[in-house]
Chain A
Amino acid sequence: MIQDLLVYVVFMGYAIGVMLGIATLFTWVERKQSAIMADRIGANRAYIRIPFTNIKLVWMGLFHGIADGAKMLLKENFTPKTYDRFCFNLAPWLAAVPVLVVFAVIPFGGTIVPGDLIPALHDFFGSRSYTMQVANLDAGILVIMAISGIGILGTMLAGWSSNNKFSLLGAARAASQMISYEVSMGLAIICLVVTYGTLDLNQMVQWQSGTLFGFLPAWGIIVQPLGFILFLTAAIAENKRVPFDLPECESELVAGYFTEYSAMKMGLFMLSEFIEIVVVSALLVTLFLGGYNLPYMNDTGFVFPGGSTLAMSHLAVVVTQVVTFLVKVVLVGCFQIQIRWSLPRFRYDQLMRFGWKFLLPFAAVNLVVTACVRWLTL
């Protein structure tokens, strides 16, 4: 019992650390990547001076994240005259917490047997094995949909309780946008469920470690290319980032639904946006890009298409899986940032038309085709 508790506390710490760490890293990546692709240099002025010396550590602007955080924590927490102070204070948490909770069901590694991993702990752990995932739920993907739906509440509540017309407009836009894109996102996920035949994210990853036609890795992106594009689009729309940033469009609505927020409350909205990049990347990796496994890899080692196998020790497998997952998440996050800095924004009617008349029919057709193929091949 105590062993389970220990392991899961470690998992939770790892999950939260990864999310916050990579989210902070992404604030830097976003600045630098957008700068480099626009022939600029990017933020590079924040520094830490080693005390009593004149040595300034710049580290390519990595300290701008710390400077941002310190600024948000130390600024005046201005509260507008609102009639609903409770909701006003609750909204940032409602926006940030579901994003954090979603990561709980995402597997960030395969099965781990702590007793085998560290021989000194063999007596303590015995032969217990754990899947590297905070909450090993059978219906993981449904939990993701359910919890990420709560995020809309935070946005709407923020706009409604701010007592500001800009906020209200932004919240109305956010609500309609997120609800309409959740539909096609759900359909894309149902296609995956039909393909993999399971709702458990860990089993989905294991399904993807097999091969297709004997040589292709059976990743979701190869089995469901249209589903991947639909899910990516819907996920970016859920995240309210640039091609779909109508809820907070700066040119029209000041800052959208969090216009009235200041200091760390506003920081929570920003942070939840960046954590959501991490979470969406992790979801994309898990559902479409083979999860924590390299191509042709499973929990025991590599099985190459020719039939040759490469057995790996348990430690090597665990390390490879964890590192692979992190690298994949960072790369997919960078891809999202590239999208954010490349594409122009939709107009609001275009956004709605795109969601309902373009994505939804495609998702429906994809589902029908997937179901037919699945029915015929079963």
Chain B
Amino acid sequence: MKKEYWNKPTMGLWERLYIFEVIRGLCITGGVFFGNMWKWITFRKGALTAYYPEEIRSDYSPNNRGRHILTQRPNGEVQCVSCNMCATVCPAYCIEIQSTANFEDPFHPKAPDRFEIDYSRCIFCGFCVEACPEDAIRMSKDVPNLPGFDRTKMWAPQDLLMNWQPQRNPAKVYPSAQTSTQEVHP
């Protein structure tokens, strides 16, 4: 017999009676329900969902572009020389840099006074990291405390960017002392 359309279901009497297939479907969903319920009752998690802000997923890719880190020199100064390249390349215009002059340090006369990222606008493209000539900005794979209820609280100030502790790699690698002395500026 020619089918009316290509995937027309072929049902026997058993399927046509419907009630038994309904019971089978209920058994399937019921089985999943009781299986998951048993996990919940025995204090395990019976769901695939991650509680988003509270729970850090274990399966982030190692190259995941997460929250930014501002790296520091060994003396604790910020590595950034305030060249504004990240702010220029940023497609979301979410980086704000205000520079200050520091004539005490002839190698780094210019440093950011205020380096802020607006996480309500950041699209995590990673262009800032690629544009940076000084390896001053990096992205950790973690995204802690990103969500918020208030737009004004989504701004990450320089202090936070420098000092938040990435939970997955606590050993935040800074550029070594040699590389920082290699740069020759007047």
Contact = CB atoms under 8 A, between A and B. Distances in A.
Interface of A: 33, 35-41, 229, 338-339, 341-343, 354, 358
Nearest to B27: A342
* Cβ-closest 7 pairs across A and B: A37-B33, A342-B29, A39-B48, A41-B47, A41-B49, A36-B36, A37-B29
Interface of chain A: mostly helix, strand, loop or mixed: helix
Contacts of A35: 47
Given A229-B19, A338-B30, A37 B25 contact: no
Contacts of A39: 32, 36, 46-49
Contact of B22 (A37, A40, A343): A343
A111 B29 CA distance: 39
B51 interface: yes
Contacts, number: 41
Interface residues of B, number: 18
Contacts of A338: 26, 29-30, 33
A36 B37 contact: yes
Contact of A341 (B29, B36, B37, B40): B29
Given A36-B46, A41-B47, A339 B32 contact: no
Contacts of A229: 19
Interface of B: 18-19, 22, 25-26, 28-30, 32-33, 36-37, 40, 46-49, 51
Given A37-B32, A37-B36, A342 B49 contact: no
Contacts of B26: 338-339, 342
Given A229-B19, A338-B30, A338-B33, A36 B47 contact: yes
Nearest to B28: A342
Contacts of B46: 36, 39
B33 A40 contact: no
A35 B46 CA distance: 10
